[in-house]
């Protein structure tokens, strides 16, 4: 009889596990995701910053898996896992499994202040990217029409909390947009009035990169008008800006790029160990201790690299772990021994505006325009489909030379002509 494999999450880990098991004779697969599409998160900031549209970085899971006859896709939310009875409880049904693959990723963490989310959206989903885009574009539009200098200054102040790669990419893009785009399209805004802050609690930004690359990135950001505040802990966020100890920054737009926590699902499994941020601690073969039938991969997994450290939340880690999980299930079915997961390090990179990036690959470190081209090529290569690669390449080419971005549309959330039901 065929084994039933349930995969929760169609991100890099879940999708690659599904592909590894796709069209294999001994398994039937159900993949469940709360969204009906796979999202290429590394380019999410480009949607937020108007460089790309939503469909450039997302593709329907159903289409991506159409050629695998043994995979069924359900759109739904998995609420809980009953490890005793080997079932998952979703918002539409209860589903049993022989093998379970959890690949549900992580979400933002507001350090006990979830009320800040309203004033400082994070960047993890397409909906959040669109909301950030709306806020940034709305701030420019309101700055264009106001005659009040203080109000304009506030509207042209952007604070990004968190100096990791996402914070740096957001700040660099806003810096570039303000420098080169505002002057071209807005008549009343003096680009010099724009202020962009990265507020980082640690002693330096880009903590996962080497200090020399991080300081090069800091200098590039400063050239784009970004002020980098390190050793600065945000103590409050409200609709008018942020508080950092005794300092106050009045800002119409605050964006959150600090702190992550695992999605809740891992902690619904009785007796399963999770780490400080809720990731599920896994064995070398990516299964959960005492539960060889449950695997966890990607951002949700705590895969130890020794002495309290774990593999970072990166796309190549998730992708490789997804494949490895699928492969281990196939080994089980052939009654062969499972393989321990070994991560093939693909390095890390981050962009600062349109011409600069930093790349770190083992002892190889470089920055500048060559790094930016490396970054661009790698991201094009890993995009989901040929169509996505062509479209993104064309749009980048166009905006590279024209400084004109196509997705600079503000679409209001209200869609009805008759909202008051009269």
Ligand X SMILES: Cc1cc2nc3c(=O)[nH]c(=O)nc-3n(C[C@H](O)[C@H](O)[C@H](O)COP(=O)(O)OP(=O)(O)OC[C@H]3O[C@@H](n4cnc5c(N)ncnc54)[C@H](O)[C@@H]3O)c2cc1C
Residue 232 contacts residue 204 (beta carbons within 8 Å): no
The yes or no reply on residue 12 touching ligand X (CB under 6 A) is: yes
Q: CA–CA distance from 414 to each of 121, 201, 417, 418, 420 (Å)?
A: 19, 37, 9, 10, 11
Binding mask 205-244 for ligand X (x = CB under 6 A): ----------------------------------------
In 219-236, which positions are buried (b, 16+ CB within 10 angstroms) versus exposed (e)?
ebbeebbbebbeebebee
Q: Which is nearer to ligand X, 39 or 189 (CB)?
A: 39
Binding mask 38-77 for ligand X (x = CB under 6 A): ---xx-xx-------------------------------x
In 292-330, which positions are buried (b, 16+ CB within 10 angstroms) versus exposed (e)?
ebbbbbbbbbbbeeeeeebbebbbbbbbbbbbbbbbbbb
Residue 297 contacts residue 279 (beta carbons within 8 Å): no
Query: What does 223-275 look like in DSSP terms, one character per residue?
Result: HTTEEEE-S----EEETTEEEETTEEEE-SEEEE---EEE-GGGGGSTT--B-
Catalytic residue status for 54? no
Q: CA–CA distance from 326 to each of 6, 18, 95, 337 (Å)?
A: 11, 7, 20, 14
Q: Which is nearer to ligand X, 123 or 237 (CB)?
A: 123
Element at 42 (helix H, strand E): none
The yes or no reply on residue 326 touching ligand X (CB under 6 A) is: no
Q: Which of 49, 59, 97, 105: binder of ligand X (CB under 6 A)?
A: 105
The region of 233-241, 276-284, 307-315, 359-367 touching ligand X under the rule CB under 6 A is 307-315
- Applying the rule CB under 6 A, the residues between 106 and 145 that interact with ligand X are 123-124
Instruction: Spot the catalytic one: 20, 28, 138, 169.
Output: 169
Binding mask 274-303 for ligand X (x = CB under 6 A): ------------------------xxx---
Residue 96 contacts residue 62 (beta carbons within 8 Å): no
The yes or no reply on residue 314 touching ligand X (CB under 6 A) is: yes
Q: Which of 5, 6, 13, 244: binder of ligand X (CB under 6 A)?
A: 13
Binding mask 146-165 for ligand X (x = CB under 6 A): -------------------x
Q: Which residues are bridge partners to 6 per DSSP? A: 30, 100
Q: Which of 166, 220, 384, 399: binder of ligand X (CB under 6 A)?
A: 166
Q: Which of 294, 315, 329, 407: binder of ligand X (CB under 6 A)?
A: 315
Q: Which is nearer to ligand X, 127 or 394 (CB)?
A: 127
Residue 378 contacts residue 370 (beta carbons within 8 Å): no
Q: Which of 10, 164, 172, 326: binder of ligand X (CB under 6 A)?
A: 10
- Applying CB under 6 A, what is the total number of residues that bind ligand X? 34
Q: How many other C-beta atoms lie within 10 A of the C-beta of residue 171?
A: 29
What are the residue numbers of the active site?
Answer: 169
Using CB under 6 A as the criterion, which residues of the chain lie in contact with ligand X when the complex forms?
Answer: 8-14, 32-35, 41-42, 44-45, 77-78, 103-105, 123-124, 165-166, 263, 265, 298-300, 313-316, 318
């Amino acid at each position: 009889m065929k084994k039933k494999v349930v995969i929760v999450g169609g991100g890099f880990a879940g999708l690659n596990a599904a592909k590894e098991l796709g069209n294999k004779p001994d398994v039937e697969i159900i993949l469940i995701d709360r969204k009906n599409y796979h999202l290429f998160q590394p380019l999410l900031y480009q949607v937020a910053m108007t460089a790309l549209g939503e469909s450039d970085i997302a593709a329907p899971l159903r289409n991506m898996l159409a050629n695998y006859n043994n995979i069924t896709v359900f759109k739904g939310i998995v609420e809980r896992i009953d490890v005793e009875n080997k079932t998952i409880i979703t918002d539409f049904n209860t589903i049993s499994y022989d093998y379970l693959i959890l690949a549900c990723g992580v979400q933002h963490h507001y350090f006990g202040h979830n009320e800040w989310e309203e004033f400082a959206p994070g960047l993890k989903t397409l909906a959040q990217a669109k909301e950030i885009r709306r806020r940034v574009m709305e701030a420019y539009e309101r700055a264009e029409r106001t005659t009040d200098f203080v109000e304009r200054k506030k509207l042209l102040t952007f604070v990004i909390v968190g100096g990791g790669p996402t914070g740096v990419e957001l700040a660099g893009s806003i810096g570039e947009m303000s420098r080169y785009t505002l002057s071209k399209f807005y008549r009343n805004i003096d680009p010099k009035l724009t202020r962009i802050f990265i507020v980082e609690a640690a002693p330096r930004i880009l903590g996962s990169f080497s200090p020399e690359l991080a300081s090069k990135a800091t200098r590039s950001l400063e050239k784009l008008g970004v002020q980098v505040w390190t050793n600065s802990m945000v103590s409050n966020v409200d609709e008018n800006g942020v508080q950092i100890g005794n300092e106050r920054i009045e800002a119409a737009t605050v964006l959150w790029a600090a702190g992550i926590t695992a999605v809740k699902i891992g902690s619904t499994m009785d007796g399963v160990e999770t780490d400080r941020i809720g990731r599920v601690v896994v064995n070398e073969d990516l299964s959960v201790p005492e539960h060889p039938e449950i695997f966890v991969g990607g951002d949700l997994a705590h895969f130890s690299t020794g002495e309290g450290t774990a593999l970072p939340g990166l796309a190549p880690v998730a992708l490789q772990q997804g494949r490895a999980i699928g492969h281990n299930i196939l080994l089980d079915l052939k009654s062969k021994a499972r393989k321990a997961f070994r991560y093939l390090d693909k390095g890390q990179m981050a962009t600062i505006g349109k011409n600069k990036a930093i790349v770190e690959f083992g002892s190889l470190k470089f920055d500048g325009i060559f790094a930016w081209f490396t970054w661009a090529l790698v991201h094009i290569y890993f995009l989901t489909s040929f169509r996505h690669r062509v479209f993104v390449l064309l749009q980048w080419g166009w905006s590279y030379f024209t400084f004109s971005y196509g997705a600079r549309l503000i679409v209001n959330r209200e869609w009805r002509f008759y909202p008051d039901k009269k």
